[in-house]
Structure 1
Amino acid sequence: MRTVFFILSLFLGPASAQTVANDSVGTTTAPVPVDPPPGTPHTVSLVPLGGRTSPVLSGSYVGFSIEWTHIDDAIGVGVGASAVGNLGTAPIVAGLMGTLRNSSGGWPINVRIGGNSATKLWWHGSTLPRLAQSLWAVTPAELQILQQFCVTTFARLTLTVPMLSPNPAYAVEFLTKGVLVNIASSNIFAIEIGNEPDHYEKNARRPPGYTFEMFDAEFSTAHAAILAAIGPSYEYQGPAYAYQWTEPSLVPFMMSQNGTKYISFHKYGQQGCSTATNPDTVTPLTLMMDPAPDEYAWLQPMGDVAAGRNQTLVWGEGGSSSCNGTTGVSDTFVSALWTIDMLLEMAYRGVQYASISGAGQTNYAPYAIDPALGRITARPTFYGMVMAARVLRGDGSKVFRAPVDGGWAQDGNSTKTWGVFHADGDVSLVVIVKTPDAFSVTLGGATQMPTVTCPGNAKPQGFVSRMMVNASTQPLSATSGITVNGQTWDGSLDGLPVGAYTEEVLDPATGTLQVPGYSVAVLRVGCQAGLAGIQYVPPPAATIAPAPLLPVATPAPPGGWNGNVTTGVVPTGIPVNDGSGSPSPRVGALVGIGIAAAVVLLGAGLFIAGLYSRSHRRVAEGDQHPHPFADGSPYLGKRGGEIV
């Protein structure tokens, strides 16, 4: 009955008027008016439900995952960023990274470079036989873009190396001749070995019957070879399961891979692939039902095992829906609400680092190039990431479920109440409202609120932050008009927020927190207004003298490989970066003498267009990977994880 009530309320409930003080110049504002007036407030406690809190979170908890094929358009100055030796980081991207860093007390943003493109990665300077599925060339200049990105933004990188071949020579060569020649070691957070091995068999990368035990042996071989080649100074990450092996094989992987500190898995909220044949089409309504209250209970014991072994659980890749996301859902305001809720859910279950996918030309991208404007713009998902970072306030926070009216989650999943203990002694209440109706809460008295001690015995205050959207109709589908603390990134030319940072002041002992429909409100009980103070002072930028660009290598002859007992024609011509739609001018191909230049350009253009089209084609429906909560809802997708 709760699910039915929730669905009806989404469609039939009255819309709330939402007024945002965008032009305020102060640090506080009057409470946001709510229409209709709230009824009897709900009572919320800041004592953890069931006594459980999350592990202590890093200040770098909120991070990104970017494909190798999107270095140019997600980190550089736009499509073709690496042209003519331009190794700069786009000013807007630098500003967006600075916004997240400032929202979390100055802690560096972790950026994972990996995904399916890591499996298909081909090191341009390689002397090894090129494999049939090694489609995407990575060049020295792209690695130099990553190095400059770290110098500019203080970001740290998790770099995924390929396991397309069981022979670790490919990963070792890429690291020793590419990565470590062009990227300072201090800018590398971890080296991730492989990507989504539970899809290797499906994608013809391993023979039928490929098992976890086979992968585990290959991972051990690769890890040992890399360690022997580059020494013990680096941390490692894996296994980057898509989903299929996560529940049965994540703990066995932890137990067998003692040298792997960061234990990664992938999880997408909804099934975004092959919607033409998928009966459970992704909509704003289905996304609002995710994550359901007990959907990720299966993950919690894995986080506990990791913590007990001094390993760290990492949500290595994820977004609102798989396969580049869903237009009208992943790129709208509903994804911002989903992002906050899912980041807190993952933290509660034991995840200590998270990487939101797609900072490139994808529907779920937190930022992307707007073709109409011709520049990078922030997407709604980015607002959710900023709000989550401001909720957590840097290093040392712990997440818990804040009981509401003695339970947790109203009407199934329509309203979530999270709590956060902060390292400085503050405590926050987070209210996420997923219906059009307003929701109001009061704290349950002194016995339901931890003691917050302020300097000089000053009385703690309540500081209210909000994420809202200024849309009178269909707010969930809005792509602009979103604000966090009264600030927006609409129209920003430097990636920094537009407008003054605002908070409301509310007496936490006697006041009522009013939360409009389709919005997030945070009541922080603390001593000082404003963003978290700087907790992290970055070291001097680690620089490296880039090696000269390698001459163009003649592609190695086609070669069979026994990873799946398959041979294939090696791609020839100009290696391109998937997603850019244009070849890198650094990379050329040997052409026959006497062929006219016009013919060469035409042929190359047709070849690139073909690769671009093929790389962006939707993947056909494959095996069904059961979504852990699908049986309880006809609206959830039947698969989890990235579908590649």
Structure 2
Amino acid sequence: MHAVLFLSLPCLLAQVVSADVTVYGFFGQTTINPGAEASGTASAEASTTSFVTTPGPPHYTELAAYNNIYMLPPPIPSPPPATQFSIGVATSASLMNGLSIPQRGSFFGFSIEMSVANQLIGKNSTTLFVPFLNLMNIVAERAGAVHIRVGGNTQETAYMVDSLPNGEFLEKDHEDASNPTSTPIIAFTDDLLYMLANVSALINAKWYLGIPFNDTTNFRLQIAEHGEAILGDNLLGFQAANEPDLYAAHYHRPMSYGPYDFFGEYALLTQAYQADSNVPIKGNLIAPSVSGTWTPEQVWDTGFVEAYTQYLTALAVERYPSDNCAVIYPNPQNPPKDPLQMLPQYLTHNAGLNMATQYRNSTLLAQGWGKPFLMFETNTASCGGFPGISDTFTSTLWGVDYALQLANSNFTGALFHFGGQNVSYNPFTAVPTNESAFHEWTVGPIFYSSIFVAEAMGKTNTTQIIDMFPNNGNDQTPAYAIYENGNFARMALINFMTDPSGANDYTATIFVGGSGWNEPNGVPASVKVKYLLAPSTSEKDNITWAGQTLGGRYEVDGIWKGQESIQTIQCDQTQNMCQVKVPAPGAALVFFSDAAQQAVDPSTTQTFPTTVLTKTANTVSIDPSVLATSNGQSGKSRVNLGGTSQGGANSAVRTTGVVPGVAALSCLLTGVFAILMRFR
């Protein structure tokens, strides 16, 4: 957040330089200005517009997280689905066959690649990034908690050191030349863990961590030793082995490496784990985290769970529905995928259904073993996602449907992955360091999915879900009934189509209870509805949840913008029905009681102020009364907490519950300095 920013003249001029825009299947705008406000309007300021109409991978030169690739939404199916249909549900969960197991509000969580923790979470344990806190707290206050994993490929070779230069807690030591994905080797200090603990002192965040698995003769268990001691009850568990079915393909094991080899290596891990007296809890491991090259059944067939059950707190898999790896790592066996052909595959109910169905046997086995079953890492496509798909409203609707389908299929959680600024699927992305003086963060469209799902799940941890397959099972118009404490509470409705004319908006007529269920009529006098909306499935910025937005690219500080708009729809109790319209495209969350809506919608969401100043040598004094009206920051409460600022104290304070800070960096070049004040 920026109360006062100090920029050099060249920095100011850099703001008005427009980037190229690539448009696939041009849909109405003449040009698209990436710097425009989140209004959905076009502008003629872009310097060049490339109209790409031929198939093939897109070309862009900017960071993938901020690409300007747009694709025409798929046409309306022919014949189109019915726009009027009925859905009947029972009031009591006891009458609904096929309900999921009880689910927690924190079902939709996040997976942060370990190598980018210092970009997203904080600079160190005493300087936490305010947008991260605000965004995570939006989810935590609706879901009751937010579950976050810090790990991924980079956890496998990570090692803990006592200290790093300049007080850093994370260092990308060098790239592993033996790995075709060029994964960096990470050195980290325990200040990483203190940072996570300090986040949990401010918001209800719980953490998954990863134990390195690259050296089975010398397991490095320091992250478990220190993690247990520092995080305590905020630690959910340790993943041991990340995608072991890809070890051979990534040259980390012989090409003959298979599930029984993995079984043997896990025996070595559990022996080391059991023998380590500095790890007090011995049943905190998560496995096997296979990615689809092996099926989980191939691991179960080794007797894995029976052999290691005392050490396992949860079972897990990782899966992306597709990949965009060929663009980065050319491979004749995996040619580049055409985004124009991939796009329609994400705008269908079958996308999530087909993926989840593959794991129904394993989720059933997990229940028999008494273990949670996690989708430990997922997103739209591995290797960074597809520009124009992963960073559009397409991913928002896909993310809602996919998460609800996983819950319906008895997964117990799903973690959506973050990479760096070179990927397009991030739930949110920190501003590039060299632009932090005049830009803010960027929310990815899939982050709105997490908010929708958090409110759909609620906080009671009793939620049960069922896929209703309405409209004769049409894959463009899915719906889920949601029960809480044994009673019908909410319904989620999705419309995957894009039609600005409104002709393919649909109206669902919902019947609750009644004689067909051998129950009294259950429709209330009215229902509340929250809408998740965008002008088209190709929209990147102008996305709203209940009328509010977090902002367009480079505009996000984690605070809602605009007035909340919750619709009230009158129902017909005589006919026991409520009619709810769902725009094309969009999703609706329907609350069948005020209590069901109020329980997940905090009247206010706690936000966090900026409390650190950096690079103060070239600043000027501002009247506190003026500053107090700028961007939510009171001048009288602004203090220096230390860090790497000139004259600052050592930043490696090892205490929890500290005040968060975010650096307002400036472009300090010789020349004339201007003061940019932003008022909202």
Normalized against structure 2, the TM-score is what? Answer: 0.65
* SS, match of residue 302 in structure 1: helix
1:339 Cα deviation from its structure 2 partner: 0.5
Aligned mate of 1:146, from 184, 196, 202: 196
- Structure of greater relative contact order (alpha carbons < 8 Å, 6+ residues apart): 1
Aligned to 1:88: 127
Aligned to 2:608: none
> Aligned in 2, Cα 1:313/1:70: closer, same or farther, shift over 3 Å?
same
* SS, match of residue 487 in structure 2: coil
Structure 1 segment 404-553 matched on structure 2, within 5 A = 404-405=470-471, 407=472, 409-410=473-474, 413-423=475-485, 425-436=487-498, 437-444=504-511, 446-447=514-515, 459=524, 461-469=526-534, 471=535, 475-490=536-551, 494-508=557-571, 509-528=576-595, 530-532=597-599
> Aligned in 2, Cα 1:500/1:254: closer, same or farther, shift over 3 Å?
farther
2:486 and 2:594 map into 1 onto residues whose CA distance is 10
1:215 and 1:103 map into 2 onto residues whose CA distance is 39
Residue identity opposite 1:258 in structure 2: T
1:74 Cα deviation from its structure 2 partner: 1.4
Q: Residues 43-91 of structure 1: CA distance to partner in whole angstroms, max 9, x if unpaired?
A: 1122599821111112221110011101111111xxxx23xxx632211
Given that 1:463 and 1:529 are in contact with CA atoms closer than 8 Å, whether structure 2 keeps it comes out as: no
Aligned to 2:219: 170
1:186 and 1:247 map into 2 onto residues whose CA distance is 29
> Aligned in 2, Cα 1:336/1:344: closer, same or farther, shift over 3 Å?
same
Residue identity opposite 2:447 in structure 1: F
Structure 1 segment 37-52 matched on structure 2, within 5 A = 41-46=84-89, 51-52=97-98
> Aligned in 2, Cα 1:321/1:92: closer, same or farther, shift over 3 Å?
same
> Aligned in 2, Cα 1:53/1:63: closer, same or farther, shift over 3 Å?
same
1:219 Cα deviation from its structure 2 partner: 1.4
Given that 1:464 and 1:505 are in contact with CA atoms closer than 8 Å, whether structure 2 keeps it comes out as: yes
Aligned pair 1:347/2:347, yes or no?
no
Aligned mate of 2:316, from 254, 264, 268: 264
* SS, match of residue 291 in structure 1: helix
* SS, match of residue 296 in structure 1: helix
1:506 Cα deviation from its structure 2 partner: 2.2
Aligned mate of 1:238, from 272, 287, 303: 287
Aligned to 2:112: 66
1:365 and 1:419 map into 2 onto residues whose CA distance is 29
Aligned to 2:139: 100
Given that 1:13 and 1:435 are in contact with CA atoms closer than 8 Å, whether structure 2 keeps it comes out as: no
Given that 1:74 and 1:359 are in contact with CA atoms closer than 8 Å, whether structure 2 keeps it comes out as: no
Q: Residues 343-374 of structure 1: CA distance to partner in whole angstroms, max 9, x if unpaired?
A: 01111111011111116433111010244653
Aligned to 2:381: 321
Normalized against structure 1, the TM-score is what? Answer: 0.68
2:587 and 2:524 map into 1 onto residues whose CA distance is 26
> Aligned in 2, Cα 1:531/1:324: closer, same or farther, shift over 3 Å?
farther
Given that 1:419 and 1:430 are in contact with CA atoms closer than 8 Å, whether structure 2 keeps it comes out as: yes
Residue identity opposite 1:158 in structure 2: Y
Structure 2: stretches of 5+ with no match in the other structure: 1-24, 29-37, 41-80, 164-173, 179-183, 499-503, 603-649, 653-680
2:405 and 2:314 map into 1 onto residues whose CA distance is 19
Residue identity opposite 2:237 in structure 1: A
* SS, match of residue 257 in structure 1: helix
Calculate the aligned-residue CA RMSD, in Å: 3.5
Aligned to 2:467: 401
1:89 and 1:467 map into 2 onto residues whose CA distance is 30
Given that 1:65 and 1:114 are in contact with CA atoms closer than 8 Å, whether structure 2 keeps it comes out as: yes
Number of residue pairs matched by the alignment: 483
Identity %: 20
2:249 and 2:85 map into 1 onto residues whose CA distance is 49
Aligned pair 1:75/2:141, yes or no?
no
1:164 Cα deviation from its structure 2 partner: 0.5
Q: Residues 180-217 of structure 1: CA distance to partner in whole angstroms, max 9, x if unpaired?
A: 46x22222111111111001111111112111111112
Aligned to 2:501: none
Residue identity opposite 2:111 in structure 1: S
2:109 and 2:344 map into 1 onto residues whose CA distance is 26
Aligned to 1:118: 155
Given that 1:68 and 1:138 are in contact with CA atoms closer than 8 Å, whether structure 2 keeps it comes out as: no
Structure 1 segment 490-639 matched on structure 2, within 5 A = 490=551, 494-508=557-571, 509-528=576-595, 530-532=597-599
Q: Residues 81-116 of structure 1: CA distance to partner in whole angstroms, max 9, x if unpaired?
A: 23xxx6322111111111001222xx2211111110
Structure 1 segment 226-375 matched on structure 2, within 5 A = 226-229=273-276, 230-232=279-281, 235-252=284-301, 253-259=304-310, 260-275=312-327, 277-281=335-339, 283-289=342-348, 291=351, 293-358=353-418, 360-361=420-421, 362-371=423-432, 374-375=439-440
1:228 Cα deviation from its structure 2 partner: 2.9
Given that 1:399 and 1:419 are in contact with CA atoms closer than 8 Å, whether structure 2 keeps it comes out as: yes
Structure 1: stretches of 5+ with no match in the other structure: 1-10, 15-19, 23-37, 536-584, 588-644
* SS, match of residue 477 in structure 1: coil
Aligned to 1:221: 268
Given that 1:503 and 1:530 are in contact with CA atoms closer than 8 Å, whether structure 2 keeps it comes out as: no
1:447 Cα deviation from its structure 2 partner: 4.5
> Aligned in 2, Cα 1:461/1:146: closer, same or farther, shift over 3 Å?
same
Kindly indicate which of the two structures has a greater share of residues assigned to strand. Answer: 2
Aligned to 2:210: 160
1:147 Cα deviation from its structure 2 partner: 2.2
> Aligned in 2, Cα 1:534/1:513: closer, same or farther, shift over 3 Å?
closer
